[in-house]
Structure 1
């Protein structure tokens, strides 16, 4: 008599005996049984693989990364310490030099005038010098604090950016005085205009290249992903291409003898703002060609000025000021249609006879960050067109750029400050 299938819910007669598990199965459940057996074998094999896994070799490999980070951090601390030692020496030299000059001047005056008139002066000088001899100069030290998030073990889940919690600069690069404050970022570097030089700075805030620049003052610059190059527009009506890999500089001849004031790139498209506030779209590949053009009043009203332009893959951001009211608006447009998606009035009213720089850059999730040197403030704009936060910066911020959604560079009159986002 035929036996029933070993599966409890099955009423079919068995047709096959599995010699591995000694169970009688019907034809229908034979296939499922084979698959189950195969799956169990895979689990068993994977379990053996996990048991044999030697974590020590991976720990050793990744510990080398931590060791490298430690060495680089110690070098930064050493450089900071050496700079402060030099600053300390210069301070004492300056103080002693001032004391000597005051004493020499006092000696000359005492020769020609009544020395009793200067008894109070000499007493004050002695008191100052005695204070330096006894106490030195006050040095205010703060314990070095390390951001616990500067090293993330495992998957790093970045929270939404909160401008109110902007970190202190973790690095500061001194720059010469300039009138343009131009800078931008690629996927690897920040490019910073330093008058007679262009400087490439990596994500560790180290200068990796210093490129001589002799083609006139730079009005603006942007990064082209399609060309893997930086595009620079100058005040001498010329536009240049700086190749990131070779650092070669070439003039873009089809765009020569045209005066542009602002630029931004999106995919393989370049957007330039002319002196009369027209916006021209250029296709970069396979060759440079003018594509579309928008003039006033489509770009802005006759009494308005475009202060900055920035873009994402499909959006164009504009900062526009009114010469009538001195009010400032941040406007977002669609790149596909040039339709206005929203316009928001910023809490900026300029009371000067001229306006300082206002710049914007893209954050992640189609959010935007604006810096205004007139009020020394930063503005965080959400993708819904609302101000998510404002921040009073310690110096006038003339420009800003973001690297890999992780590092924010803010350019002031004499420095570029690097912040973790």
Structure 2
């Protein structure tokens, strides 16, 4: 018995040593250096592209002004010769002489007024263009924050890309930039917004209403909804690079997977009990690094839980029970740094920091009822509440 235990311990030690030996810390640091260098090279490339474009435009302008100069110069020389001829012959044609002089003066004035102006705006780059991802910590969130008001008809749905945060401030869709300013807005009149996500593959936001799916570009233009052959009542959406995932609004929710490389062709459908129990509803889904987080509400036990699924197999990686209560407020999540998660529980106004392996790390009580959150540019946490959108910056 003792020998068996010793052998087991030895095997475990060997496994630990093997895992330690396989981990290469240099690969992690080298990759970050390469990414920063690639950003610099891309910036240089972009500047060179603009330089070449403007150089070609400038050469066209220079050739045009040189052509006009040669034309004026020829006219002046011709008129001077003609004026000299008039003086040599002593002809007293004063009208002709006056006309020649005026023509010479006009052409000289035109030449002297020739110029090419280049208005150059200084290229402003500050350190916010590169943000080094750090461990998420509630203590690093600024207590002061910007607020954007929500009316009763505003949706709390949020989504972001590398440039903008998209919010709904009734009756407008609004884009907020890195300086936390609304830089673009457009009227939205196509029904209540259930959820929003960003698709890097399609390079657009995807807006989900009760029964329709809209593609909205970065200048907030959109047209008719996509043709939906599945005919479901939708509730939540999220994207990977390859797929769009939609959950249904019903007890015993289903999840559908659509191919982004085609015209949203249906790839997979998961139903209870793979998604949840028949008495459960899925409040939110979020994709991150080949996993799908499901925020599930048990209508019988009034128990909320978070499940992390593999998008390849749809097997449950881990399950975490959360709050208990009959309040049906939104219960959502968002991915944060290092494959960790932030859970937003409006039932008890809590924000939960969850580790990548599904354990509680920390929690805070929020000062108003939170509905959703979105980590923007890796250094701003956007939290939508009942009445406002709050933007918290991370303190360095």
TM-score (norm 2): 0.64
* Residue 241 (structure 1) aligned with residue 215 (structure 2): yes
Q: Which sections of structure 1, spanning at least 5 residues, go unmatched?
A: 1-62, 70-150
Aligned residue in 1 for 2:372: 399
Among 344, 350, 354, the residue aligned to 1:381: 354
**Structure 1 residues 245, 196: closer, same or farther in 2, change over 3 A?**
closer
Q: Are 1:251 and 2:225 matched, yes or no? A: yes
Provide the residue aligned with 1:350 in structure 2.
325
Asked if structure 2 preserves the Cα contact closer than 8 Å seen for 1:224 and 1:268, the reply is no
Q: What is the Cα deviation at residue 402 of structure 1?
A: 1.2
2:108 aligned partner: none
Give 1:286-305 correspondences, 5 Å limit.
Answer: 286-305=262-281
| Partners of 1:378 and 1:174 in 2: CA distance | 21
What is aligned with 2:177?
Answer: 202
Could you say which residue in structure 1 is the equivalent of 2:335? Answer: 362
Mapped to 2, the partners of 1:64 and 1:233 lie a distance apart of: 38
Deviation at 1:230, TM superposition (A): 0.8
Q: Are the aligned partners of 2:374 and 2:381 in contact in 1 as well (CA < 8 Å)? A: yes
User: What residue is the counterpart of 1:92 in the other structure?
Assistant: none
Instruction: For 1:265 and 1:389, locate their aligned partners in 2 and report how far apart those are by CA, in whole Å.
Output: 27
Stretch deviating more after TM superposition (243-252 or 388-397): 243-252
Cα distance between partner residues in 2 of 1:339 and 1:312: 15
Q: 1:345 to 1:256 in 2, by over 3 A?
A: closer
Corresponding position of 1:223:
198
**2:289 is paired with a residue of what secondary structure?**
coil
Q: Which residue of 1 is the match for residue 20 of structure 2?
A: none
SS of 2:370's partner is coil
**TM alignment of 1:279-358, pairs within 5 A:** 279-346=255-322, 348-352=323-327, 355-358=328-331
Aligned length: 271
| C-alpha displacement of 1:184 | 1.3
Q: C-alpha separation between the residues in 1 aligned to 2:324 and 2:154?
A: 22
Shift of 1:188: 1.1
Aligned position for 1:411? 384
CA RMSD, 1 decimal:
2.3
Name the SS of the counterpart of 1:342 in structure 2.
Answer: strand
- C-alpha displacement at 1:165, in angstroms? 4.0
Gaps of 5+ in 2: 1-121
Note the C-alpha offset of 1:404: 2.2
Deviation string, structure 1 residues 180-206 (Cα, Å, up to 9, x no partner): 412211221111112321111112110
